[in-house]
Structure 1
Amino acid sequence: MKKTILLNLFAALSICAVSAQQTPWKPAGDKILTQWGESLDPKKPHAEYPRPQLVRSNNWQNLNGSWSYAITSKNATAVPTKWDGNILVPFAVESALSGVGKRINKDEYLWYNNTIELSKDIKRKKVILHFGAVDWQSEIYVNGKLVGEHEGGFDPFSVDITSALVKGNKQTIAVRVWDPTSDGPQPRGKQINNPHGIWYTPVSGIWQTVWVESVPETFIENTKQTPDIDKGVLNFSANVQNALPGDQIHVTAFDGTTKISEVSSDVDGDLTLSVPNAELWSPTNPKLYDLTVKVLRKGKVVDEAKSYFAMRKISMGKDKNGIQRMLLNNEFVFHYGPLDQGWWPDGLHTAPSDEALIFDIIKTKEMGFNMIRKHIKVEPARWYRHCDSLGILVWQDMPSGDLGDNVWDMQPGKFSGGKLDKDRSPESEAYYKKEWKSIMDALHNFPSIVIWVPFNEAWGQFKTKEITEWTVNYDPSRLVNSASGGNFLNTGHILDIHNYPDPAIPDPRLFGDKQVLALGEFGGLGLPVEGHTWQEKDNWGYQSFKSKEELLERYTRMIGDLNKLIPMGLSAGVYTQTTDVEVETNGMMTYDRKVIKIPEAKLNELHKVLYQHKVK
C-alpha cells in the first residue's frame, strides 16, 4: 500500500514538474494592457527583420521567443544550472509581457539561456549574433564559452560566435546582465529604482530583438550615408570586414526600379553618388531612394546588402529681422510635435509589436504633427524606418543618467548662481561618451533624424560645450540642441526653453541672432480616463481637467498662443506628450492607446495654422 502511495506521489510530482516547465505564457501582473499585448503571439514576438538600413533578408534567424531565466546573487559568476522559469524575449524582466514581472537590484545578476537550432545554411558561413539592446552590462556565452561583453542600454551590438559553435545544429546561448538602474552612473533615461512622478519602472535585460545572421568571411559591417542636396549627391562610405587587396565596393542607387546612379571604389574609399533632379524628403513628401551595396572581388560578388536613403537638409539661417530660423531643404518649416517617450504599460521600453510601434507614429501624423521629440530614449531601428517612410521629423535625445549635484538654471540670460555643469567621475563620463557616439553611429543613416539633443533639463549635464562641440563636429549634417530646457552655455545651434503649461519664447532680442529659438516642452494638460490609467488614483498632469471638452478648449487656446510666437522668432514647439505614461495622464492618448482624448481630425485642423507662416 505504501509503495502504491509513494508511486502515485512520485507520479503527481512528476506531472507538476512537467506542468511547471510547460506553463503557457501570459502577461504578468494586473496593469492595463494594450490591444497588441492582449493579442500577442508568444511564439513569434517581433518577428520582423530588425535592421532596415542594411538588409540581408535570406541569411538570418530570429531568436525572439521563450528563453529560460534566473535571478542570482552577483557572487554567482558561472552560468546557472537551474532556472527560475521562462521569459519572453525581447521584453524586459520587469514588464508584463515578459511573463515574469520581477525587479532586480544592483546586487543581482539576470541570466538568460536558450538552446537554438541553427539552420545548415546559416552555420555554413561566419555567424554573427546581434542584440538590438540589452540594459545594461552584458556578457554573452555560446556553448559555455565567453564570446563577448557590452556596456550600454540603448545601442545595438554584435558578436562573432563562429569559433564557439559545436558540431550539430543545436547551440546554447547564455546572457548575463547586470543593471543597477538609478544606483549606477550609466545612461538610463526615465527609469528609476523607486518609480514616482515623471520617473518610471526599471527596464533590465534584453529589450530589443535578438537574432543571428550568416555572412561571408569578407562582409559589409555597416555603411554611412549623408545627403548633400545643394550639390545633388549622396556621400557614402562602408566598413568592410576582412577585405583583401583589390576588393571593391560597388553602390547603385534606384528610384523604384529605375537605376539613377552607380559608382565603385576601393573598399576603404569614400564614394559620391550623383542624384540628379532629386526629389527632396519632407513631412509632406517622404521620398526614399533605394541602394544596393556590393563587395566585388575580381568582378564577382562577395557580399551584398540593401539599404535606402533620402535627399534632405536641415540647417539654420537668418530671416529678414536677423533672427535665426530652422530650415528644412533651405526653407523655413515650423517644427511642431509631441514629446514622445516610447513607453508601454505592458512592454515598458518595448512596444508589444511592430504594429504597435508604428501606431503611435501614424496617430501623430493624423493629429497634424510634423515632428516627434524622442525623449530620453532610443527606439529600435524599425521605428526610425517608419518615421522615414511616413514623413516625421525626429529630434533624438541622449538618455540621461548620473543626475544631481548641479543646479538647473531655467531662465537663459538670468543666471542665478551655482554649478551648471555636473562633475562626473571619469567612469561616468566614459559611459556617456561611448554610448552617445554608438547611438549616433547606429542612427546616422535615418533621414528623419534632424536634431541631436545631448542633454535635457540639466540632468547629468556635464562639460556642455565640449560635448556639444564634439557632437556638432561629429555630425555636421544635423543641428545640435545642446541642452533642451537645461543649462544654457551659449553653444550649439538651438536655444530651447521649457515652460509649463503655456507656450513661451526666449527673448529674440538677446538670443535670436545667434541660435534658433525653440520651445522644447510645454503643455502637459492632464485628463485621466477611468479604466485606462496605470493606477486608480493619484494620477497627475501639469494642469488637470475633468472632461474632453474642457481639455479641447484649453488646448485650442494654447495653439492660438503658440501661433502668435512664430512671427516673433519661434522655430519649434514640443507639446507634452504623445501618451500617458504611468502616473502621468497628460497624453494625447491614454497609456494603453485605447482612448484618444482629442479627435485626430480636430487636432489636425487646429495645427494647420502653425505651418502657414512664410518666413523670409
Structure 2
Amino acid sequence: MKNIPRPEHPRPDFFRNQWLNLNGQWDFEIDTSNTGIDKKFYLLEKKFREKIVVPYPPESKLSGIENTDFMVSIWYRKNIKIPEHFAKKRIFLNFGAVDFLTNVWLNDIHIGTHTGGYIPFRFEITDAIKKENVLTVNAYDDNRTYLQPCGKQSQRYYSYGCYYTRTTGIWQTVYLEATERNYLKNFKIYPDYDSGDVLFFLNIDGQSEVKTMIFAENECICEKTVSGSGNTFFTINIKNFIPWSIENPFLYNVKFVLYSNGVKQDEVESYFGFRKIEIKGKKILLNNSPVFLKMVLDQGYYPDGIYTAPSQEDIINDIKIAKHMGFNGARLHQKIFEPLFLYWADKLGYLVWDEYPNWGIKSRISHEAFSVLIKEWIDVIERDFHHPSIIGWCPLNETHMPQDNELVRTIYHITKKFDTTRPVIDTSGYIHVETDIYDCHNYNQDPEQFKKDFEPFKSQEKIWQNYPQLDAPYRGQPYWVSEYGGTWWAEGKQGWGYGDRPKTKKEFIERYRKLTEVLLNHPKITGFCYTQLYDVEQETNGLYTYYRKPKFDPELIRKINLKKAEIEK
C-alpha cells in the first residue's frame, strides 16, 4: 500500500485484517446541474472526464481537482478487482465519511443511500460483487439550505471570518472488508474503574462462539468464550489493572474471534482503557483526582487537505505540538474528527471534548434538520463511545435566539441516555438550557477587565455569562471558560481574530500569560480552552500557522500552561 494515499487502516478501534483500501485515483465528474441521477450517470457507459485522488475532497490541493466553488452534485467511479482470498466470503463496502447525501451503485446496481457528512457507513455487497467490478458514488451537498449540519464550512462562495473552505463528497478512507457467514456487527466496551470489571456488549450476526482475549503489552492476561447471537453481554474482571491517564495512557488490546461449529468466522481487534470521569461539586475528577482542563481549540483543517489530514503523521503532529505547549487536551470544534485522531489521542494521553458540527442549521432547528442532526449525533456517540480520551460530549455550539429550548433539552437528555458515563454540555457558550458543565466564551483582550468579569464568582455564586438574561440559572456546576484568547497575529499582513493585534511577539506572550493566569489562579474555574492551536485560512489567531509552524516560542507557552491551577490544589 506504499503508493496509496492514507494507506493505514482507518479504524484501529475496529480492525479486521481482511480488508482492502480503495483510496487512490478515481474517475470524477462535477454534475453542475444536479441532473446526473436523471441522466443515469451510474450506468457503465457514462464516462467521467476528470481524475480525483480519494480520500481528499475535491476542494483540496491533494485531490488534484482544487475546485472551491459550490459543487452541489459530484460523481466518483473506480474499477475494483476483488482479491482471491475474498472469494466465497461476505463482503462489506465501508465509507469513513462522505458529505452529505450519498448514493452508491455497484455494476449498475443501486446498493444504498446514506445521509450525513461525518460518520461511517457500510453496505453489504456480497450479492452484487464479481471478480472485477465498477463502483459508482454520487454525493449531493448544498449547505446553503440550512437543513444540513456543516460546521465551519462557508455558506458563501468565499471563506470569511471564522468560516472556511467547504468539503464536498468523500473525505475519509473507502475500503472493503471480508468475513465468513457470521460476523461481529458492532460492540461497546464499558471498563469500570472502581471494580476492574469490563462489560462487553456485542452485536453478532449469526449464532457463534465468541472467544475474547485481553492483552497487556502483547501478553494475553485473560480470555473468555461465550455463545451468542444478536445482542450478547458478558463481563471480564481484570485484577490490579493499570489506569489510563494523561501521564500514562495505558491501553489494553482486545481481540474477538468468532467460530461456528469450530470454523473461524470473523476476527476483530480493538482496545480500551480504564478511565473514570465524574463531577463532584465544582470540580471535574479524572480517576478520582481533580483535573484542570488546559485545552486548546482544534478545528481539524489542513491547508492541502481541508477536512482530510494529508497523512497519519499530520494527525500525530497536531497532538504532539499541543502537548508540548502544556495543553492536556483539545476541544474538537465544529467537526467530527476521524477515528484515527481519537486513536492517537488515546495513545498519547490527550483529553478530548467531542462536539457536533451543528452550524449550518438555524438555532431554531427545524424538524427536518433535527432528524438529520439527532440520528448522526447518536451515531457519533456509538462510534466513539469507548475512546478513553473522550471525557465529554457537546451536541451544539453557540446557539442563538430564537432557539427551541425544549429541543435543546431533548438533545441533552438523548445524549445522556446513550452515554451515562460522561458529562454533557448542552450548547457550548450559549444559550444554556440544561447542562452538566456550565461554560462560557469570553474573548476580552484586556487582562484587567477579563479578571473583573470572573471576580464576583470567587465569593458568590455569580458567574460571567454570555447571555445572562437568556441562559439557564447557574446551579453550582463546574465552570469552564471553553473559549478565550483568540488573539490574532499575522506578521506583516491583515488577519481575522479577536481584539487589537499585539504590536510585538513579546506583547502577545505577555497578554497570553495574563489572560491565562486569571483562569489558573481562580479557585472556582475548572478549566480553559484557548482559541486556537493553529491558524485556519484567514483566521490568524493560532499559536501555530496554518502550515503548523510556530508563531511564538512554544517553550514560553508551555511555561505558562504548566502552572498548577488553584482548583487542583
TM-score of the aligned structures, taking structure 2 as reference length: 0.90
Task: Indicate whether 1:102 and 2:102 are aligned.
Answer: no
Task: Indicate whether 1:509 and 2:461 are aligned.
Answer: yes
Call closer, same or farther: CA 1:550–1:514 in 2, change over 3 Å.
closer
Task: Indicate whether 1:235 and 2:199 are aligned.
Answer: yes
**1:523 aligned partner:** 485
Out of 264, 284, 304, the residue aligned to residue 326 of structure 1 is: 284
Task: Indicate whether 1:291 and 2:254 are aligned.
Answer: yes
**2:217 aligned partner:** 256
**1:409 aligned partner:** none
Task: Indicate whether 1:465 and 2:409 are aligned.
Answer: yes
Shift of 1:257: 3.1
- SS of alignment partner, residue 102 of structure 1: coil
Give the letter for the 1:94 counterpart.
E
Task: Indicate whether 1:372 and 2:330 are aligned.
Answer: yes
- Determine if contact 1:263/1:271 at 8 Å carries over to the other structure: no
- The CA deviation string for residues 2-58 of structure 1, in whole angstroms up to 9 with x for no partner, is xxxxxxxxxxxxxxxxxxxxxxxxxxxxxxxxxxxxxxx99421000111112112x
- SS of alignment partner, residue 387 of structure 1: helix
CA distance in 1, matches of 2:494, 2:516: 29
Shift of 1:612: 6.9
Shift of 1:388: 0.2
Task: Indicate whether 1:49 and 2:9 are aligned.
Answer: yes
- SS of alignment partner, residue 496 of structure 1: strand
Task: Indicate whether 1:608 and 2:567 are aligned.
Answer: no
Shift of 1:512: 6.7
Where do 1:70-109 residues align within 5 Å?
70-72=29-31, 73-77=33-37, 78-79=40-41, 81-103=46-68, 105=70, 108-109=72-73
Out of 63, 79, 85, the residue aligned to residue 121 of structure 1 is: 85
Where do 1:345-494 residues align within 5 Å?
345-404=303-362, 422=364, 424-458=365-399, 462=404, 463-489=407-433, 491-494=434-437
Gaps in structure 2 of 5+ consecutive residues: 463-472
Give the letter for the 2:409 counterpart.
K
**1:5 aligned partner:** none
Per mean C-alpha deviation after superposition, the further-off stretch among 502-511 and 349-358 is 502-511
- SS of alignment partner, residue 260 of structure 1: strand
Shift of 1:524: 0.4
- Determine if contact 1:527/1:546 at 8 Å carries over to the other structure: no
Shift of 1:76: 2.4
Where do 1:56-67 residues align within 5 Å?
56-57=16-17, 59-67=18-26
CA distance in 2, matches of 1:577, 1:471: 27
CA distance in 1, matches of 2:410, 2:101: 26
**1:177 aligned partner:** 139
Call closer, same or farther: CA 1:298–1:163 in 2, change over 3 Å.
closer
Shift of 1:265: 2.8
**2:465 aligned partner:** none
Where do 1:195-214 residues align within 5 Å?
195-214=159-178
Give the letter for the 1:547 counterpart.
T
Give the letter for the 1:398 counterpart.
Y
Out of 249, 263, 271, the residue aligned to residue 308 of structure 1 is: 271
Out of 27, 35, 42, the residue aligned to residue 68 of structure 1 is: 27
Give the letter for the 2:388 counterpart.
P
**Identity percentage over the alignment?**
33
- Determine if contact 1:527/1:541 at 8 Å carries over to the other structure: no
Give the letter for the 1:610 counterpart.
K
- Determine if contact 1:472/1:492 at 8 Å carries over to the other structure: no
Shift of 1:208: 0.4
Per mean C-alpha deviation after superposition, the further-off stretch among 342-351 and 97-106 is 97-106
Considering only CA atoms, is the larger Rg found in Structure 1 or Structure 2? 1
**1:130 aligned partner:** 94
How many correspondences in the alignment? 537
Shift of 1:103: 3.9
Per mean C-alpha deviation after superposition, the further-off stretch among 455-464 and 378-387 is 455-464
Shift of 1:613: 4.9
**2:527 aligned partner:** 572
Give the letter for the 1:515 counterpart.
Q
Shift of 1:547: 3.1
**2:536 aligned partner:** 581
Shift of 1:94: 1.1
Shift of 1:123: 3.7
Call closer, same or farther: CA 1:248–1:95 in 2, change over 3 Å.
same
Out of 224, 227, 236, the residue aligned to residue 266 of structure 1 is: 227
Gaps in structure 1 of 5+ consecutive residues: 1-40, 319-323, 407-421, 531-535
Call closer, same or farther: CA 1:83–1:351 in 2, change over 3 Å.
same
- Determine if contact 1:523/1:542 at 8 Å carries over to the other structure: no
CA distance in 2, matches of 1:164, 1:210: 18
Shift of 1:234: 1.4
Call closer, same or farther: CA 1:447–1:538 in 2, change over 3 Å.
closer
Call closer, same or farther: CA 1:264–1:542 in 2, change over 3 Å.
farther
CA distance in 1, matches of 2:474, 2:247: 27
**Coordinate RMSD, CA, aligned:** 2.0
